[in-house]
Structure 1
Amino acid sequence: MRIDLTGRRALVTGGGSGIGAAIARTLGGCGADVAVHYASSADGAEAVVKELVADGRRAVSVPADLTDARQGTQVVERAVQELGGLDVVVNNAGHLVGRAEVADMTDEHWAEVMDVNVTSTFAITRAAIPHLRRSESGSVVLMASLAAENGGGKGSVAYAAAKAAVIGFGRGLAKELAPDGVTVNAVAPGFIGQTAFHDTFTPVDARPGMVAGIPLGREGTPGDVAGVVAFLASPLSSYVTGHVVDINGGQLFR
């Protein structure tokens, strides 16, 4: 059975590169119209939009700093204006920012990690709720992480805490929106290669050891995450809500 998102209107945050770009392309490939948000990856977002338009989709790129809740509202308003409504919100935007142990962590670092991962998710979702409620089958997909469950690597306590907060936010929101027929789920990727995240924060010489600890014996790809997101954005998952889907090759079982 093919995932069919024809007629669905989706917003993907952080869609200009890596996992977000793969999600936007996959949703469009399944028939959805897509608004692609970006913070700094303008060229990447425009490339994704051009591909989607060439395939017959409606698509638009939308810049914003989502740590500012007002800009989050503006992103949703622009997506609704361009697409004629909103059925799917994928809160992919997030970042480790940098590694810092708690004893040495500044207030500014903690706040920045929380803002880019948690505040951005809150702002976009809050603004989208009225539109999702008007959808026949609204869907919210949040981006968690394996770090939320195992504490992450050295110096990533703030990131692990932020992604755990995203999971808690999603489970609570799933209860709030269930009466409206809106589902809320999260994905929790493990080691996903081909991303700026690991290019920046995972040394090349550390990768073989990481892969050795993954039962499936390989890095994940952005497409591995995008396929799960497409399922959660589709009617095929209409009876799944409040769930976290682990995408880690068997690295951690819950």
Structure 2
Amino acid sequence: MTYTFDDVAVVMGTYNEAEAIEHVLTDIEAVTDGRAAVVCVDGSSDRTPDVAREHGARVIEQEPQGYGVAVREAVLAPDRPVVVTTDCDDTYPMERLPDFLDAINEGYDVVSGDRLSRGAETMPRFNRLGNQAFALGASLLAGRRLSDTTTGMRAYRKEVIDEVTWTENTGLSAELLLRPVMRGYRVKEIKIEYRERRGETTLDPLSGGAEIAGSIVRVAAEERLRQLSSGVSRASGRSV
């Protein structure tokens, strides 16, 4: 089956991004001819949900509980077979959505936008170094070279989203890549540009970075144990 933008939902967690979200939604509408569905899980105290609705997005309101809680709700909400995640701060190139969809149609289960290989010069240097370290650590733990484990722009076949239990909050972006990679799904990274964000970030780089690092180690360990358990069960003639 060949998917079109009629089969795509673009989802995001939103929190006080009224300054940026209009640009993101306008870009999505222009690139997809208004055919992609948009879902925003929102905990804002500003006009972000109003702006989203004005641009045709479905808004699911929830109390602020962190990045991962919002994004997990967002990726599970659509009923379309292809789900694309992005951030609402206008840093990701929505004009690349056709490339992500093409890769899904080539047979990939997850298509991940790699910001770091092209330099990500608009990203604060401390954040860039941290993200490079996360990618290196995740690569070692997963046994596969990964260029950017914390990117917010990815495309997924919906069945991958539905088949995996997602557990992380601040580190969900890394988990959304690591679990599919370590479970043998077909995963492709494509290089993308990364723009300067509109508005101010709410993530503290030190505490947030520590949580992401912990998530990477925890998820990789869980997946290794799952692999070992699966191997033992197959050897003894049981299924898991």
Category of TM-score, reference length = shorter chain: 0.3 to 0.5
Higher RCO, 1 or 2 (CA under 8 Å, sep at least 6)? Answer: 2
TM-score normalised to structure 1 length:
0.38
